[in-house]
Amino acid sequence: MKAVHFATGKHDGIWNMAFDRYLMELVRENSWDFVLRTYGWDPACVSIGKLQNTQREVDPEKLIAGGYGLVRRPTGGRAVWHETELTYSIVASTDHPAVSGSITEALRKTAAPMVFALNSLGIKVAVSPTEKHRSGGPRTAANPCFTSHGKWEVGTPDGRKLVGSAQARSRGVFLEHGSILFGNDQLKILDYLPRNTAEGLKNTLRKHLTEGIACIHEFDPNIEISDMENALHDSFSSIAGNPLESISYEELETERFGELECECGNDI
């Protein structure tokens, strides 16, 4: 099995989502069996889930006017503010042993190396196989991802969420996105909710985005993004079938990648 790791650095939201969609195409064409990608965002960006209504989740005009990005993920889930974090993508065929089975089984399988990587850096985290640690965010529109802690998501023993993730399956290919928080910027999204969002809802969300979130620098401010990337490289090698090979991404910026950038830019 050919397993690779792309560390692509920081790019804008449209570039990031186009690259992941391109990786899905390449896995479908059997270029690789398992891909781990780690990356960041510049400028800071809000991503919304595949099925979300943009106008019900954020105020796009205000967000763009503020100099921030907005993009739709090919994965499900809810809105995420991307800034002080390391984002990861896992791409593999749906029958790959590391991600095969039901949604719950795949979540369990990918959570294990994430927990191992964080624990190896001295961050004590765990997953809960039940929803007993839900932080309680309301299930409404304008309800960001980090307002609740779902089944098999990675968090602290006291139930605070540190990693938010979402999945997709398309034509035989599995994709998981995840945000590993280094700092808590999630409150910023409250300034860009739809104009008609009730103040009471904002206050409830503010409480959950303050009390229900943990971040790496809360535990150790000396951990660098590269430390987390290296830990993920090692831990995901254990489930990929072979040690991950680190390769450059520049050669993938092809004409087809440019077409996907245009598609992502139009899908807001």
Q: What is the pLDDT of residues 97-124, one digit of tens each?
A: 999 999 889 999 999 999 999 999 999 9
Contact 176/92 with Cβ under 8 angstroms? no
| The predicted structure's pLDDT at residue 2 | 93
Tokens in use for 78? 């809810």
Distance CA 262, CA 268 (A): 11
Q: What is the pLDDT of residues 124-162, one digit of tens each?
A: 999 866 554 444 454 555 678 888 777 788 999 999 999
Spot the catalytic one: 145, 215, 262, 264: 145
| The predicted structure's pLDDT at residue 133 | 41
| The predicted structure's pLDDT at residue 129 | 62
pTM: 0.94
Strands 126-127 and 45-48: unpaired
Active site residue 145: yes
Contact 62/189 with Cβ under 8 angstroms? no
Q: Which residues of the chain have pLDDT under 70?
A: 128-142
Q: Domains in the chain, ordered, with CATH?
A: 3-266 (3.30.930.10)
Provide the 3-class DSSP secondary structure of residue 34.
strand
Provide the 3-class DSSP secondary structure of residue 262.
helix
Q: DSSP class of residue 154?
A: E
Contact 39/11 with Cβ under 8 angstroms? yes
